[in-house]
Amino acid sequence: MIIGLTGGIASGKSTIANMLVERGALLVDADQVAREVVLPGEPALEAIASTYGQAVLEPDGTLNRKALGEIVFRDKTKLTQLEAITHPAIRERMQQRIHKYAEQYPERLVVADVPLLYETEQQELYEGVMVVYVPAEVQIARLMARNTVSEEEAERRVSLQMDIEQKRKRADWVIDNSGSLAETKRQLDDFWKSKCLP
């Protein structure tokens, strides 16, 4: 079984993905793949440097993610431009990895953590989509704490994605992560049992 895992920024996707891996799922993480396609030598990194300038590179030639984030999260046009550079390569690698896992381990759950799954209309690629839900104000508070950004910056990053209430409505399974981690784990146990996973 191959499922998509999504939610809003800082809603807890990685936290939930790790819990599913502890239970035996195999994970393919779009944020991780997004990091791989911009490693030195990759065509996407060259395109980024020529589009945004040398200031988005570290002295050793790797991507300065914070600098690029500050440019693109401030300007939707620039973010769309970055997505046009990176998304085709991310999507291709994700699909290769997902199908390799599914063929190699047909009895196991394969989870694709894709933050922009609904924004990029990828729901049809999966047998179902699990949405990690927290209200927007919790998202903003957790984002401020994790990334040490201002409330204004956190609100802006949240507003660049589809509203989390919309994602919740489209979900096949909703995990409410606004309570304790133990409560979240209990919901995942119920999901695991309902799918008769080993």
Ligand X SMILES: CC(C)(COP(=O)(O)OP(=O)(O)OC[C@H]1O[C@@H](n2cnc3c(N)ncnc32)[C@H](O)[C@@H]1O)[C@@H](O)C(=O)NCCC(=O)NCCS
Q: Is 181 in the site for ligand ATP (CB under 6 A)?
A: yes
Out of 32, 47, 69, 135, the residue judged to bind ligand X by CB under 6 A: 69
Do residues 164 and 7 touch, judged by C-beta distance below 8 A? yes
Smallest separation (angstroms) from ligand ATP to the CB of 50: 27
Q: Which is nearer to ligand X, 148 or 180 (CB)?
A: 148
Smallest separation (angstroms) from ligand X to the CB of 46: 15
Site residues (CB under 6 A) for ligand ATP, limited to 106-135: 115
Smallest separation (angstroms) from ligand X to the CB of 13: 7
Sign of CA dihedral 185, 191, 197, 198: positive
Residue 58 and residue 169: Cα distance in Å, rounded?
41
Q: Is 11 in the site for ligand ATP (CB under 6 A)?
A: yes
The stretch among 62-70, 104-112, 123-131, 169-177 that binds ligand X (CB under 6 A) is: 62-70
Smallest separation (angstroms) from ligand ATP to the CB of 54: 27
Do residues 44 and 85 touch, judged by C-beta distance below 8 A? yes
The whole-angstrom distance between residue 122's C-alpha and the CA centroid of its chain comes to 13
Question: Three-class SS of residue 173?
Answer: strand
Q: Which is nearer to ligand X, 66 or 193 (CB)?
A: 66
Q: Is 155 in the site for ligand X (CB under 6 A)?
A: no
Q: Using CB atoms within 10 A of its CB, is residue 44 exposed (0-12), middle (13-18) or buried (19+)?
A: buried
Residues found near ligand ATP in the complex (CB under 6 A): 7, 9-15, 31, 115, 142, 146, 177, 180-181, 184
Residues found near ligand X in the complex (CB under 6 A): 9, 30-31, 34, 65-66, 68-69, 72, 79, 82-83, 86, 90, 115-116, 160-161
